[in-house]
Amino acid sequence: MDASFVVLILIVIIGLAVVMIYNRLVALRQTCNQAWGDVDVQLKQRHDLVPNLVETVKGYASHEKETLENVIQARQTAVDASSLKGLAEAENMLSGALRQLFALSEAYPDLKANQNFMSLQTELADLENKIAAARRFFNNAVQELNTAIEQFPAVIFASMFGFSTRDYFEVGETERGAPKVKF
């Protein structure tokens, strides 16, 4: 076997390895994109639900203007967010404002008994569960992509091919733990 044949075989093997690494990174990036799409759909549904909820509450608790304005402002901030970190912060702010809105129902028995309010509250709770599931799937996809980018030998080629690590969609400190109840 002559040396040029051995060199050719090594070049082919290295080339195949590079193609396999590239294809794996592309597949993982696409999984992240698809997972983010799932999160985005759920967040948009949540954003669409909030105005209906505010209008329902407004009819019963119109003098709770500050709470209603906080919810509206938090929703708009979330809709306008342009980065993953900004969106995560805005969504956490929206969650806190919604908790305050639902706390109002305790002070307004007619609102608490309103079928439309109860339906919207149930729908929002369902959306929150879907968002949490989509967030977990997205963060798992990001973890897999980030790990693949940082592992050898992909780390050698990842930046050359334009791959970079992604940020997680993390729950903020205001979302952790049970809500505090004060009397």
What would the pLDDT profile of 78-115 be if each residue is shown by its tens digit? 999 998 889 999 999 999 999 888 888 788 888 878 88
Does 183 map to a domain? no
Does 33 map to a domain? yes
CATH (domain of 30): 1.20.1440.20
Q: How far apart are CA 150 and CA 179, in angstroms?
A: 38
pTM, rounded to two decimals: 0.80
The shares of helix, strand and coil residues in the chain, as percent rounded to the nearest 5, are 80, 0, 20
Domain count, the chain: 1
- DSSP annotation of 175 reads G
- Tokens in use for 103? 């706390």
**HSE (side-chain half, CA atoms, 13 Å) at 142:** 16
pLDDT digits (tens, 9 = 90+) for 16-44: 999 999 999 999 999 999 999 999 999 99
Q: How many helices (H) and strands (E) does the chain have?
A: 6, 0
Does 59 map to a domain? yes
Domain containing residue 19: 3-166
Does 95 map to a domain? yes
Does 43 map to a domain? yes
Does 78 map to a domain? yes
Asked if 87 contacts 81 with a C-beta cutoff of 8 angstroms, the reply is: yes
Q: Inform me whether the pLDDT recorded for 182 exceeds 90.
A: no
Q: How far apart are CA 177 and CA 23, in angstroms?
A: 40
Mean pLDDT for the stretch of residues 171-180: 50
Does 149 map to a domain? yes
Does 175 map to a domain? no
